[in-house]
Structure 1
Amino acid sequence: MKKLFVLSIALTLFCTGNTFAMDIRKSSGNLECAYVEWQTVSGAARYNVYYEQTGGEKTKIDDKLIRRYPDYMRADALGLKAGVYRLTIEALDESGKTIDSATTDCLDVKANVREGFAFTDGNVPGAYKMDGTPKDGARILYVTENDINKITCEVKDKKGKATTYTGLGDILTAYSKGYDKTPLIIRVVGTITDTGYAGIKDGNYLNLAGFNNKDRSLENVTIEGVGNDATLYGFGITLKRTKNMEIKNLGIMLFGDDAVSLDTDNKHIWIHNTDFFYGKPGKDADQVKGDGSIDIKYRSTDITISFNHFFDNGKVMGCGGATGEDENLRITYHHNWFDHTDSRCPRLHFVTAHIYNNYYDGVSVYGIGNTSSSAAFVERNYFREVKRPMMISGQGTDKYDEKTGTYTLKGTFSGQDGGMTKAFDNIFVNEKTKLKLVYQTDNATQFDAYKVESREEKIPEDVKSVTGGCAYSNFDTAADMYESQPDAATDVPETVCMYAGRTEGGDLKWTFNNDTDDEDHNVNAELKTAIVNYKPQLIGYQDSPTTSINATAIEGTGIQKYYDLTGRKILPNTKGIIIVDNNKRRYKILK
């Protein structure tokens, strides 16, 4: 008790008595990160930002984590283990002297939920440890629109010789040979476009691929966004022959095919806290919102999809190759926000799936689609205005003809054989739409899911799907099943809405109109316009020479004022840059 009292006093002293000389706009802790925003300081040439825990030393963050926006500065500290932190900002003049400083209040940093099939057999996907800090020896690369093709990194070859490569595309090509297993963290700063990145694969993807699926796979890579505005615009990410990979905290907009494609021989992959918006329209009628958000197939297994925000996506997740799999893919889906999506949340084909604590928020066509040889354990999810929450191909509401009262339809989402779904403790709220859900307690054969009274209850072996004769594997009660502690279904909306997607909900926020959008699966014209017209607000990061310019018009002149990263005014002929005024007149500014 005495130790707890002393700790309480230390924490109180740590969190109080701060002097706010400069103007801090806001600050907060989040999932293994913390941030602070402040107003620029007159006379400051640069800033230093530090983080510290109770009783710990101050640690300086990288300069590229310190960024300027039109009317404020921002810094994010990443790779923090759970705990209580403070951030301190120092404003320095040109001689390096501190002219102002401020320290935040205490910020509560929480841990990511690391569980599911991706974390089985002792694996930790990505370049971070289980505690959220970088793995030993991890390399960190910062990429922006202006320098993604200029950054450098050493990569070792078969003999251990290190060669320096330039540009993210060439760096990843060197890593793809599969000899260098050094953990790699790729941090995206601001927006990167398909026209700005020279390493685009097939016009659609940032390519993460290994040489083979045995000893030379690409391993231990995290690609993550910095702050709330990191965006891939016009392209997505593809993985092939990879292991222990992590994708997080990104907004992906107007991608060409899939936003994230796990195509062939990927294992122990974690995709989380990402915002998925519309893709580019495809050639087929069902691709008007893009082909799909996440595609998982061809021996890509041991995957965790968690805390993502899907904005009105059409075909959200198709999981399992079209021609089948050698063995079932093992995938966990938890705490995702299916925000007025249409279908495939997910669609399973030769998949063993654990689906829990997801928020189905106005899903217009169907939620979970279970087909050939798939086993799905669906527990403690919250379904709001979802007409068909769970479907098994070839039976139940998939076959039911309301006009005749018979099970004679060809099927509403798949002509494939059916799998088997176990359902436990889910919540359904349908005030406007009629819930179409049949359990075995209502119809012994033509059901949409087999409802159990406890997590441990097994489905009898003689219970099989109508088409294909698939029995439930009872994987979730097997001795080798991973541990999980799902939240109560009543808590799901609040938790998911708070943490799903990018930090702070991202910089492009959208609230759907439930009265019109719950049952509408057409493209939301206003949302599409917002995505097409999306403009990044980032001006630049500290010491970036090509992006540190902010222009504001001077009324009545057509000329603009220009400011550097620290807010100091730049006059014509004083800096080594080129500017353009409102009338498109060019000014060459000499060094």
Structure 2
Amino acid sequence: MKKLLSFFILAFGSFLLNAQVTITQATGWLETAYVKWNPVSGADSYRVYYTGGGFTNKIIDNQLIRNYGSYFRADILGLSPGNYTIKVAPVTNNVEGTATVSGSVTVLPHDRNGFAHSNGRIPGAYNLDGTLKANAVVLYITQNNKNTVSLNVTGATTNPCVGLQTILDGFKKGYDTRPLAIRFIGNITDPSYLLNGDAVVENKNIAASSITLEGVGSDALINGWGIRIKNATNIEVRNLGFMLTDAAEGDNLSLQQDNSYIWAHNCDLFYGKPGGDADQAKGDGALDAKKSTYITFSYNHFWDNGKSCLLGLSEGTTSGLYITYHHNWFDHSDSRHPRIRYYSAHVYNNYYDGNSKYGVGSTLGSSVFVEGNYFRNAKYPILISKQGTDVANGATGTFSGENGGVVKAFNNFMTGQTAFIPYNSSTAASHFDAYVASSRNEVLGTVLKARSEER
């Protein structure tokens, strides 16, 4: 009987070792790749490896492997562009079974155009080729460990630092200059310790410091709280969803003050919690920036937001303030795409769809180049405060009582708009929404000014 039992145990163990993973999808994306597979009966866990980018069968962190019930998924981050294969092996009693290797997948580079990458700076914990910078620290944040995750941080008040915000507080002092990649996994509600409802990122503007906050896969969600950046440089935020923030600042993601070289991209921005003001039914700002420079906001999706992007507030100067908005999707969001004070802004290759109030809004001291955008059913694609469409037919102003700025437009497509008034020296020399350039490099003469500046 014992021999028979031993035979069945050996046979079953052999079956498990020979059971293969069925890969259902393997795909390359932007400096990442992912693989999905069906569960293997009897497997305790899985190991995932990749080959490519100078590596052969490099194992990935276990945290990147997630169980979705009917399937498993693993994401591989920090890949340089190129072709890769992914290998998945079932594990039983710490013994690997027969592995399955995917076909070749192609990893593409991120688009790093924009002011954030000026002057040789590289925001975030990744190199220009998408790989992690030398000596980078990788931190995984989940719903289960958000309050208990720990890290020793040079110069922190106490070590180890425990919890997300406490770790960020340690880096705030600027003594620890290791590149930091914080990877969020799944739906994460408010950690127990936040600063007025936000996770606040600071690094004392130390040029040697760099921090990335990123989502893993397609379902990383900052749910009910926000991320606020201040007194910081070389910061990247990517691949995160934001919704229902009730932070005191009211924004999903905000640049509060004294920041430089900030890159926020490939994020999804949903409603915040309703506020007390009439225009806060969908929450306050989705992606706001103040008193910061060398910024790029790109490839973000704004989902029906009320107020998408406030830019500038009380800077009081037009000197040295630069930002790029490109390849964003303003999807039935109402206004502020962006609303600009003081800044020099390049707004290009964005998609505006069903915007009920206005698209780009230029106010006090701003200089805006609106290039190559697609406006579909955007009520007023471009506005300059106190002139043109903003005050047409006796209107008192759509979005601001401040003096306007100057907008140069080139190669934009508009359809379904209520009104757009281009500059015309004969018929619209004062009341216009933008100067439509005949070439990209056309220089606007000093005679062209916002109407409110002429009085």
Provide the TM-score with structure 2 as the length reference: 0.91
Which residue of 2 is the match for residue 336 of structure 1?
Answer: 328
Q: Residue 198 in 1 paired to residue 195 in 2?
A: no
Match for residue 417 of structure 1 among 395, 403, 409: 403
Q: Residue 76 in 1 paired to residue 61 in 2?
A: no
Q: Residue 454 in 1 paired to residue 439 in 2?
A: yes
Q: Is the 8 A contact 1:440 1:451 kept in 2?
A: no
Which residue of 1 is the match for residue 226 of structure 2?
Answer: 236
Deviation of 1:56 after TM superposition, in Å, equals: 4.3
Give the whole-Å Cα distance in 1 for the aligned partners of 2:160 and 2:452.
56
Give the whole-Å Cα distance in 2 for the aligned partners of 1:465 and 1:286.
27
Give the whole-Å Cα distance in 2 for the aligned partners of 1:207 and 1:291.
18
Q: Residue 125 in 1 paired to residue 126 in 2?
A: no
Match for residue 463 of structure 1 among 429, 435, 448: 448
1:200 to 1:55, Cα distance in 2 relative to 1, 3 A: closer
Which residue of 2 is the match for residue 227 of structure 1?
Answer: 217
Give the whole-Å Cα distance in 2 for the aligned partners of 1:54 and 1:443.
57
* Structure 2, unaligned runs of 5 or more: 1-17
Q: Residue 185 in 1 paired to residue 181 in 2?
A: yes
Q: Residue 52 in 1 paired to residue 51 in 2?
A: yes
Which residue of 2 is the match for residue 41 of structure 1?
Answer: 40
Q: What are the Cα deviations for residues 556-580 of structure 1, in whole angstroms up to 9, with x where unaligned?
A: xxxxxxxxxxxxxxxxxxxxxxxxx
1:282 to 1:54, Cα distance in 2 relative to 1, 3 A: closer
Quick one: which amino acid aligns to residue 48 of structure 1? R
Quick one: which amino acid aligns to residue 154 of structure 1? N
Deviation of 1:346 after TM superposition, in Å, equals: 0.2
Q: Secondary structure at the match of 2:210?
A: strand
Give the whole-Å Cα distance in 1 for the aligned partners of 2:225 and 2:158.
30
Which residue of 2 is the match for residue 23 of structure 1?
Answer: 22
Which residue of 1 is the match for residue 171 of structure 2?
Answer: 175
Pairs within 5 Å for 1:58-457: 58-94=57-93, 96-157=94-155, 163-194=159-190, 197-202=191-196, 204-210=197-203, 212-213=204-205, 219-256=209-246, 257-298=250-291, 300-322=292-314, 324-325=316-317, 327=319, 329-401=321-393, 408-430=394-416, 433-440=417-424, 443-457=428-442
Give the whole-Å Cα distance in 1 for the aligned partners of 2:378 and 2:147.
45
Deviation of 1:42 after TM superposition, in Å, equals: 1.2
Q: What are the Cα deviations for residues 183-215 of structure 1, in whole angstroms up to 9, with x where unaligned?
A: 100000111101xx122111x2111124x55x5
Give the whole-Å Cα distance in 2 for the aligned partners of 1:178 and 1:302.
20
1:20 to 1:453, Cα distance in 2 relative to 1, 3 A: farther
1:142 to 1:54, Cα distance in 2 relative to 1, 3 A: closer
Q: Secondary structure at the match of 1:350?
A: coil
Deviation of 1:165 after TM superposition, in Å, equals: 1.9
Quick one: which amino acid aligns to residue 355 of structure 2? V
Q: What are the Cα deviations for residues 482-541 of structure 1, in whole angstroms up to 9, with x where unaligned?
A: xxxxxxxxxxxxxxxxxxxxxxxxxxxxxxxxxxxxxxxxxxxxxxxxxxxxxxxxxxxx
Q: Tell which has more relative contact order, 1 or 2 (C-alpha 8 A, sep 6+).
A: 1
**Count of equivalent residues:** 434
Deviation of 1:107 after TM superposition, in Å, equals: 1.1
Q: What are the Cα deviations for residues 313-339 of structure 1, in whole angstroms up to 9, with x where unaligned?
A: 011011001463463521100000000
Provide the TM-score with structure 1 as the length reference: 0.71
1:162 to 1:322, Cα distance in 2 relative to 1, 3 A: closer
Consecutive aligned runs of 4 or more in structure 1 exceeding 4 Å deviation: none
Give the whole-Å Cα distance in 2 for the aligned partners of 1:268 and 1:469.
35
Report % sequence identity: 45
Q: Secondary structure at the match of 1:119?
A: helix
Aligned-residue RMSD, C-alpha: 2.0
* Structure 1, unaligned runs of 5 or more: 1-18, 402-407, 471-591
1:106 to 1:162, Cα distance in 2 relative to 1, 3 A: farther
Q: Is the 8 A contact 2:385 2:405 kept in 1?
A: yes
Deviation of 1:412 after TM superposition, in Å, equals: 1.2
1:348 to 1:50, Cα distance in 2 relative to 1, 3 A: same
Q: Secondary structure at the match of 1:372?
A: coil
1:131 to 1:314, Cα distance in 2 relative to 1, 3 A: same
Give the whole-Å Cα distance in 2 for the aligned partners of 1:388 and 1:137.
49
Give the whole-Å Cα distance in 2 for the aligned partners of 1:55 and 1:321.
47
Deviation of 1:98 after TM superposition, in Å, equals: 2.2
Which region of structure 1 is more displaced relative to structure 2, 218-227 or 372-381? 218-227
